[in-house]
A and B are shown apart, each in its own frame.
Chain A
Amino acid sequence: MLERSANSHLDHLIDLTKGGINRQIFVDPDLYKQELKTIFAKCWLFLGHESMLPKPNDFFTAYMGEDPVIVTRTGDGKIHCFLNMCRHRGNRVCRGDRGSARQFTCPFHGWSFRNDGALTSVPGYKEVYLEKLDLDQHGLVPVAQLDIYKGLIFATFDKHAPPLLEYLGDMAWYLDMAFDRREGGVEFLPGTHKWQIKCNWKFPVDNFIGDSYHGPVSHGSAWQSGFEGMPRRKSGYGYEGFQVCPGGGHGLGVRWAMNVDQIYEMALPEFLQYEKERVPETHDRLGDLRGMHMSPMHASIFPNMSLLWQAGAVRVWHPRGPTLTEAWSWCFVDKKAPPDHRKMVRVHELQRHGTTGTWEQDDVDNWVQSTHGAKGYVAQQFVQNLSMGLEDEIDNPQSIHPDIRGRLGKFQSEINQRGFYDQWLKRMKADTSPVILGSNAEI
């Protein structure tokens, strides 16, 4: 039982020594408001991939928390990100999901913004504003920082946030296993699955960061009916794998191959030929640990990005209130992959994950039910259990392999979920200062 009072301190929400989480964090509107400020307005958030802006003047729209943004590539090739909000009455200036545009004109009064954010035209500028409106001060609100890692575009509204690479820490090094395994990296296929799930945004992040425990039950139906995933489950020396907790609230799960042959044994038959083409190149690029031993499966990057390596799925879980989440899902392939392999990855991905996914549909119901269960007053008096693996964290990860970075748990361990909620609590507690935007506006 957890002591609870109206003014309980945030510390009481997360007990990492026992692995107990107060269920209020999944439904409380005040905590949610604070998340929008201290997490979503301050963290680096994933927007999309460079390949989604192949040509100058291409754009796509995205969200940072509940704030709509436009991501543009200007004529000079540079990538920008702005709040999708007219500085006059706050209308969205871009209603498209993606496409090509040199400027965005607000449908309300016709203020017009260039794709570098500059306010270039105001109807009645002379006649009604008497040329007194300062156009320079009314451009689209830019993010404070934007950076790209291996083609992945991230941004933050916090001017004082550490650089992206520092924020990702050792997770960036592990991400190379997905985005830098072949020359040229990856590209995202056109098309985004977008759908709304009646769950708190943290449940899917929790699921992707380290829940290797749910597979046999949640996904039993998919495995039994021709929708097996990769790496395939094998028993014996090696294979089982680890949960890797590199810090920063990020985490990933990997299966373990003692040698290259074991990688091939974990491949689905239709992917084997491509694996034989790819593995030697990946091994050359990334070395023994990242290029051979680790067969990565699932990951989350704090706060709301997730990843499935072999299926080529990247996710963002946009918060839409404490009990509603909007999932955006893409499919990526190696740039060097031939057309038949691209098709295989695409079909493999969409038949398992996303809107019609035979795996995902059952996941979605779990998250909805967990959120639903957290609403009751009595239910909130009992903590959510995240104790798996508390007693058997691997003491010296370098004894497994000298290159390993971060903490290590067994393959079925909730070490990564605890790392995520630890970071969540730190962010929620530490940060009461206003977010400083690039334009010196304060929120």
Chain B
Amino acid sequence: MNNFSPDCQSDTANSELVTWFSVQQFYAREAHLLDDLKFRKWIDLFADEAFYWMPIVSNRIGRDVGKEVGELNDLAHYEEDKLSLSNRVKRLETGMAWAETPPGKTRHMISNIVVSPGDADNQVKVVSAFLIWRSSLEVDQEIFAGKRLDTLRRDDETGWKILTRKIVIDHATLTQKSLGIFI
């Protein structure tokens, strides 16, 4: 690539910007769906073969520093496929999901989005940060923080589909009553 070619550079930068903007809009729409309790529409954003995983994070010292995030086959917070995710949504629709009766009020903030090329032409890898506010009943107020590592695939209908999502939560012992939220 000729570094001195302004056309080439602007083309590259422009296409990256377009992709980034598209991913950013996708995440913003996703966040609004979750906060507006439109969980069925949220499920539609996942590919049929999706894998949704939130490992447990622990405190490590000495030579074990770097092993904080749990591995596959360890006990995790979430280890879901599209069916179990939609069953979790189905539970919320029964009218008997008492922990969400009335539903908690959430606000998903997604930021620090970095998009990288994926394993296939129509895929990207994305890392982003989240901060989620939840308020339940009278005075219960909780914040969840962490990052998401996604593989997204281009989709004509929804812009992108989520192929894999790994959620690294920035809490070892949760001070929240549960992780009864989608991230």
Contacts and interface: CB of A to CB of B under 8 A. Distances in A.
Contact of B97 (A194, A198, A362): A362
Nearest to B100: A361
B97 A221 contact: yes
Which of the listed residues B58, B75, B97 has the most CB atoms from chain A within 10 Å of its own CB? B75
A195 B180 CA distance: 12
Contacts of B176: 195-196
A132 to B, nearest CB: 31
Interface stretch (B12-20, B65-73, B126-134, B156-164): B65-73
Contacts of B99: 361-362, 364-365
A92 to B, nearest CB: 11
Contact of B59 (A95, A346, A354): A95
- Residues of B in contact with A, size category: 35 or more
B93 to A, nearest CB: 8
B56 interface: yes
Contacts, number: 146
B182 to A, nearest CB: 10
A193 B76 CA distance: 8
Nearest to A219: B96
A174 B178 CA distance: 31
Contacts of A357: 178
Contacts of B42: none
Interface string B57-85: 01111111001001101111111100110
A343 interface: yes
Contact of B58 (A98, A222, A343, A355): A98
A190 B62 CA distance: 19
Interface string A174-197: 000000000000000111111111
Interface in A308-336: 326, 330-331
A326 B77 CA distance: 16
Contacts of B180: 356, 361
Nearest to B169: A355
A218 B61 contact: no
Contacts of B1: none
Given A95-B59, A97-B59, A220 B94 contact: yes
Contacts of A220: 94, 96
Interface in B150-181: 172-180
A98 B59 CA distance: 7
A94 B59 CA distance: 10
A194 B172 contact: yes
Contacts of A370: none
A192 B91 contact: no
A196 B56 CA distance: 15
Interface string A188-214: 011111111110000000000000000
B91 A358 contact: yes
Nearest to A366: B98
Contacts of B179: 195, 355-356
A350 B78 contact: yes
Given A225-B94, A356-B178, A191 B56 contact: yes
Given A99-B61, A365-B99, 10 more contacts: A96-B60, A99-B62, A191-B75, A194-B173, A195-B173, A226-B83, A342-B73, A354-B77, A356-B180, A358-B88
23 contacts: A98-B64, A99-B61, A99-B62, A99-B63, A189-B75, A191-B55, A191-B56, A191-B70, A191-B74, A192-B56, A192-B75, A195-B177, A195-B179, A221-B91, A221-B96, A224-B90, A326-B173, A346-B73, A346-B75, A354-B75, A355-B77, A365-B177, A366-B98
Interface of A: 94-101, 189-198, 217-218, 220-222, 224-227, 326, 330-331, 342-343, 346-347, 349-351, 354-358, 360-362, 364-366, 368
Q: What 10 A-B pairs come out closest when comparing CB atoms?
A: A191-B75, A99-B64, A96-B61, A226-B87, A195-B174, A225-B90, A221-B96, A361-B99, A225-B91, A194-B173
